[in-house]
Amino acid sequence: MFQMDEESAKIRIVKRIAREFMEMSAEKNLFVNLGVGTPTMVADYVKSDNVFLQAENGMLGVGPAAEPGKEDPLLINAGRVKVTETSGCAYFDSATSFGMIRGGHIDATVIGAFEVDQEGNVANWIIPNGKQLGVGGAMDLVAGAKKVYIAMPHTNKKGQPKLVEKCALPITGYGEVDVVVTEYALFRFKEGKMVLEEIAPEITLDELKEVTAAEFVVSENLGVLAE
């Protein structure tokens, strides 16, 4: 089966989500919170004046990473990257910032995940190994954002499906996932069902099922996963 290198897979995933955000923001402003890592890359591909990035550490209107030598050490995003301001940005305390998230004002969040199951449950905060003790804002984001986008490789490093029947790892949020984008496919959760809407041009449906442990429905209008 077709294998995509890690970097190309990431770019395909974030470009696809970026395109969706540009479509969503054609008519109205879109407020987005991007998780640490791959999700942050979505910002690089969004070409729209109507998309505004929020950082849960207290900023609306996050700009690109600061140029070397021009960093302000106190101006960071939630991933601790030294960032810049955009025109019209605002600062506020953490309760107001999470108020935006938890109050349903953030239109979309993009996060990675260890596992997503066919019920729309997501596990992304901890692998119980005794070495990690951290949740950050993950549970607030999945519970609060209007739409939760999962950006992740289709399989884990051992080649096992990350889309599963039932999450084995501790859950971050129940039934909160709206869209999953991997290098192979785009799924949407609709009325309790996981629906395959787009499939990568390089693979067949049977191949996709081989690497997907979650049960899913195939959309009547199955499309090609294009950037």
HSE-CB of 98 using CA atoms within 13 angstroms: 12
In the range 41-60, which residues lie near other proteins by CB under 8 A?
Answer: 52, 54-60
Tell me the one-letter amino acid at 15. Answer: K
Least separation in angstroms between residue 145's CB and other proteins is 11
Identify whether the C-beta of residue 121 lies closer than 8 Å to the C-beta of residue 164. Answer: no
When the beta carbons of 130 and 201 are compared against other proteins, the nearer one is 130
Tokens found for residue 67: 């140029």
Position 35 contacts other proteins (CB under 8 A): no
Position 100 contacts other proteins (CB under 8 A): yes
Position 97 contacts other proteins (CB under 8 A): yes
Position 139 contacts other proteins (CB under 8 A): yes
165: left (phi over 0), alpha (psi -120 to 50) or beta: alpha
When the beta carbons of 126 and 195 are compared against other proteins, the nearer one is 126
Distance between CA atoms of 25 and 209, rounded to whole angstroms? 33
Distance between CA atoms of 45 and 27, rounded to whole angstroms? 19
* Segment lying near other proteins (by CB under 8 A), choices 89-97, 153-161, 179-187, 214-222: 89-97
Identify whether the C-beta of residue 182 lies closer than 8 Å to the C-beta of residue 154. Answer: yes
Distance between CA atoms of 214 and 189, rounded to whole angstroms? 12
Distance between CA atoms of 94 and 97, rounded to whole angstroms? 5
The DSSP call for residue 173 is: B
- The residue annotated as part of the active site, out of 7, 23, 27, 56, is 56
When the beta carbons of 142 and 199 are compared against other proteins, the nearer one is 142
Q: From the list 68, 69, 88, 159, which residue makes contact with other proteins (rule: CB under 8 A)?
A: 88
Position 105 contacts other proteins (CB under 8 A): yes
Determine the straight-line distance between the first and last CA of the chain, rounded to whole angstroms.
Answer: 20
Q: From the list 22, 66, 143, 195, which residue makes contact with other proteins (rule: CB under 8 A)?
A: 143
Whether 198 is catalytic is no
Identify whether the C-beta of residue 177 lies closer than 8 Å to the C-beta of residue 150. Answer: yes
Binding pattern for the stretch 154-183 against other proteins, x by CB under 8 A and - elsewhere: ----------------xxxxx---------
Q: From the list 44, 47, 64, 103, which residue makes contact with other proteins (rule: CB under 8 A)?
A: 103
Binding residues for other proteins, rule: CB under 8 A, are 29, 31, 52, 54-61, 72-78, 80, 85, 87-106, 130-140, 143-144, 170-174
Q: List the catalytic residues.
A: 56
